[in-house]
Amino acid sequence: MPRAFSPHAATEVERIRSRYPTNLAALIPTLLLAQKEFGYLGDDALSLVAETLDVPVTKVIATATFYTMLNKEPVGKFHVQICKNISCFLRNSDAVTRELRSCLGVAPGETTEDGLFTLTEVECLAACGRAPVVQINEEYHEWQTPESMRGVIDGLRNGATSNHGADV
Amino acid sequence: MSATTDAPEVPAIPGIPKAPRVPNVTLYDHLLRDKHGKDYREIKVYETAGGYKAAKKALKMGPDAVLAEVKKASVRGRGGAGFPAGIKWGFVPKDTDKPKYLVINGDEGEPGTFKDNYYLSMDPHRLIEGCIICMMTLNIETCYIYIRGEFFDQINTVEKAVEQAYAAGYLGKNALKSKMTLNMYVHTGAGAYICGEETALLESLEGKPGQPRLKPPFPAVVGAFGCPTVINNVETLTSVPLIIEHGAEWFMGLGVERDGGSRIVGISGHVNNPGLYEVGVGETLYDMIYGPGGGVLEGRAIKAVIPGGSSCPVLTPDELDVRMTVDDMAKAGTMLGTCGIIVIAEGTCVVKCLQRISHFYAHESCGQCTPCREGTGWLARILDNLEDGRGRQSDLDLLLDVADQIGGNTICALGDAASLPVQSFLKKFRKDFEAHVEHAGCPFEEIPLPVWRKP
């Protein structure tokens, strides 16, 4: 893991910091930036954020461990997050989860051996009108069925990037 | 422009006291403008459709007149609590040496709620204009728009719109050619439902874990960074330009007395046409489900309806003839919440529905108050036992006992939000819970969920 932000990210940190009256307030956006830069938030990334913002590392850890989007462990290249809550459940998200388990060969909370996919079950993604909803990296995939989900996964596996993945 | 929905076939609902009627719902497109075929994310398109005229008008009217107009419009907060927005604005002290803040709550994430998603992704300038009007009225220099972190696209969209508003002179130094400086920033969350609670949101904005604060002091006096702060939901402020543009009378006329305006109702679950629909405040649940919602999948009967997001007490089919206003819903023993209606068809296991809801609150409890931190986990595990065939008759009373110990005993309303569904599901569907004990598992396991098609 790099011990410093890239020049671009360092500029971004300064821009973020200028928005707030305290350094601590810049913490969550900076942690998200660090996660984008380093893939996940290991101990050295957390220390780097603490040093950069001049905030006690204990405060950084307290915040980093509170929020579900901040990954303290490495995740796959594609983080597949399926909503299991009521509106998605009613439209059979369980069948989509079963399909994901079978075609990825992992259970929720696990990463495939090739490091390509991490499967996570999440709570509401606020797109209940188009349930079931699956978020892969930054992109929402709505109206998912087991068949459409398999198509999305196959597309990603075949080398498409998440940002240009099959939109079903 | 308005349109009346095509009346679909209305199936008979067992238990409904009077003959099913043909729903008659008027849909509006004041707020929900997705059918216009225009890209309102672009400032030029937004301006051509009359955008930012309300901000200019508000500047001419002056703060007192604007505040009076917003109060008169009786716009109730759209984030779930339903507190009148004008009165909330009035709580902010006029004479203070401290800076004042406007914070927008865009941390949408209660199951069944997906309306702010629309404003943030499709019509960000409306929100920005509403913020500008609020800032001018209350002499606020800095605004943070807090958006849940999962909304990557929406965050980009709003950031781009804010940049455009700066470039056009609506924000920044001498905003709208006045003497005011108006600064606006997008702040992102990082995954925590609790941050939709206003004081948890402030903690999160300040970089801390989202653990709610004790009130008082209220945010209007001690809010963000220890300064007076107005916190409003996205939809609440999106309604403000409409009030200023058309006047409070017009706005009120869309709704009912003491609950003015139109708002976006979200319908999800077992309906033929899930989605967002803008209606005047006061349509009935029944009309919304069988009108725009298109009725239930496969023509099934309704088993249960959660009216305003997962925390609102559940209703049975004979309780749907109720107007969707803050007060009427309270009288019916439930809450209007965020107008996110979840429809559950006959044949569905309501215990399993509650299990999902209870796991949600167990996951999202911030861990600060013991009754909620421990109790929400208990609720979820007892429901797991019932579903998995390990349930005992005594579990039913235990569920109620735990729920009673959470409700009212916590700093914030998440405790109530976790206990209300348990209490209401048990009260109205006790037989289903008992069947899980007798059957040693879920008796609905063999009944398939209704099949849906993408509209």
pLDDT in tens, A35-45: 999 999 999 99
Among the partner-chain residues B117, B190, B306, the one whose CB lies closest to the CB of A67 is B190
Among the partner-chain residues A25, A128, A138, the one whose CB lies closest to the CB of B112 is A128
Tokens standing for residue B21: 């009627």
CB contact under 8 A, A129 and B150: no
Q: Are B206 and A24 in contact (CB under 8 A)?
A: yes
pLDDT in tens, A45-63: 999 999 999 999 999 999 9
Residue type, B339: C
CB contact under 8 A, A86 and B208: no
Name chain B contacts of A31, Cβ cutoff 8 Å.
Answer: 190
CB contact under 8 A, A90 and B192: no
Name the architecture of domain B2-8+263-345.
Roll (3.10)
d(CA B403, CA B401): 5
Name chain A contacts of B171, Cβ cutoff 8 Å.
Answer: none
CB contact under 8 A, A128 and B266: yes
Q: CATH number of A78-164: 3.90.25.10, 3.20.20.140, 3.40.30.10, 3.50.30.10?
A: 3.40.30.10
d(CA B142, CA B122): 24
Q: Are B181 and B139 in contact (CB under 8 A)?
A: no
Name chain A contacts of B212, Cβ cutoff 8 Å.
Answer: none
Residue range B27-254 in CATH 3.40.50.11540: yes
The whole-number pLDDT of residue A107 equals 98
Angle, alpha carbons B180-B183-B189 (nearest 5°) = 155
CB contact under 8 A, A55 and B207: yes
CB contact under 8 A, A55 and B340: no
CB contact under 8 A, A123 and B111: yes
- The SS3 call for residue B400 is helix
* Residue-range domain boundaries for chain A: 7-64, 78-164
The whole-number pLDDT of residue B20 equals 60
Residue B239 burial (C-beta neighbours within 10 Å; 0-12, 13-18, 19+): buried
The whole-number pLDDT of residue B5 equals 46
Secondary-structure class of domain B350-438 per CATH: mainly alpha
DSSP secondary-structure letter at B286? Answer: H
The whole-number pLDDT of residue A159 equals 80
Name chain B contacts of A86, Cβ cutoff 8 Å.
Answer: 111-112, 269, 306, 310, 342, 353, 356-357, 360
If one counts every other C-beta atom within 10 angstroms of the C-beta of residue B393, the result is 11
Among the partner-chain residues A25, A69, A91, the one whose CB lies closest to the CB of B190 is A69
H or E segment and range at residue B425: helix B414-428
* Residue-range domain boundaries for chain B: 2-8+263-345, 27-254, 350-438
For testing the chain B interface, which of A18, A124, A138 should be mutated: the one with the most B CBs within 10 Å? A124
- For residue A167, what pLDDT band results from cuts at 50, 70 and 90? very low
CB contact under 8 A, A140 and B153: yes
Strand pairing of A117-122 and B26-28? unpaired
d(CA B366, CA B212): 8
CB contact under 8 A, B356 and A55: no
The whole-number pLDDT of residue A162 equals 47
- For residue A1, what pLDDT band results from cuts at 50, 70 and 90? low
Q: Residues of A at the B interface (Cβ-Cβ below 8 Å)?
A: 19, 21-22, 24-29, 31-32, 55, 59, 62-63, 66-70, 84-87, 89-92, 123-131, 135, 138-140, 143
For testing the chain A interface, which of B148, B234, B268 should be mutated: the one with the most A CBs within 10 Å? B268
If one counts every other C-beta atom within 10 angstroms of the C-beta of residue B68, the result is 15
- For residue A160, what pLDDT band results from cuts at 50, 70 and 90? low
CB contact under 8 A, B225 and A69: no
- For residue A3, what pLDDT band results from cuts at 50, 70 and 90? confident
If one counts every other C-beta atom within 10 angstroms of the C-beta of residue B241, the result is 26
CB contact under 8 A, B306 and A28: no
The whole-number pLDDT of residue B24 equals 87
The whole-number pLDDT of residue B38 equals 97
Q: Which residues of B73-86 are buried (b: 16+ CB within 10 A; e: fewer)?
A: bbbbbbbbbbebbb
- Which regions of B50-206 does DSSP assign to beta strands (E)? 101-106, 142-147, 183-188
Residue B253, C-beta contacts closer than 8 angstroms, at least 6 positions apart:
B260
Residues β-bridged to residue B341: B267
Residue B275, C-beta contacts closer than 8 angstroms, at least 6 positions apart:
A129, A130, B266, B267, B292, B455
Q: Is the ipTM of this complex over 0.90?
A: yes
Sheet holding B229-233, edge to edge: B183-188, B142-147, B101-106, B229-233
For testing the chain B interface, which of A90, A94, A167 should be mutated: the one with the most B CBs within 10 Å? A90
Name chain A contacts of B206, Cβ cutoff 8 Å.
Answer: 22, 24-25
For each of chain B's 455 residues, which pLDDT tens digit applies? 444 444 444 444 454 444 467 888 999 999 999 999 999 999 999 999 999 999 999 999 999 999 999 999 999 999 988 899 999 999 999 889 999 999 999 999 999 999 999 999 999 999 999 999 999 999 999 999 999 999 999 999 999 999 999 999 999 999 999 999 999 999 999 999 999 999 999 999 999 999 999 999 999 999 999 999 999 999 999 999 999 999 999 999 999 988 999 999 999 999 999 999 999 999 999 999 999 999 999 999 999 999 999 999 999 999 999 999 999 999 999 999 999 999 999 999 999 999 999 999 999 999 999 999 999 999 999 999 999 999 999 999 999 999 999 999 999 999 999 999 999 999 999 999 999 999 999 999 999 999 999 88
pTM over 0.90: yes
d(CA B154, CA B148): 9
Closest chain B residue to A123, measured at CA: B360
Among the partner-chain residues A25, A69, A140, the one whose CB lies closest to the CB of B149 is A69
Size of interface A-B (CB pairs under 8 A): 151
CB contact under 8 A, A92 and B449: yes
Q: How far is CA B443 from CA B189, B269, B338, B388, B435, in A?
A: 40, 21, 32, 11, 7
The whole-number pLDDT of residue B15 equals 46
Q: Are B344 and B303 in contact (CB under 8 A)?
A: yes
In angstroms, the first-to-last Cα distance of chain A is 35
CB contact under 8 A, B225 and A25: yes
Name chain A contacts of B210, Cβ cutoff 8 Å.
Answer: 66-67
The C-alpha of A22 sits at a distance from chain B's nearest C-alpha, in angstroms, of 8
Among the partner-chain residues A25, A90, A126, the one whose CB lies closest to the CB of B108 is A126
For chain A, percent of residues with pLDDT exceeding 90: 92
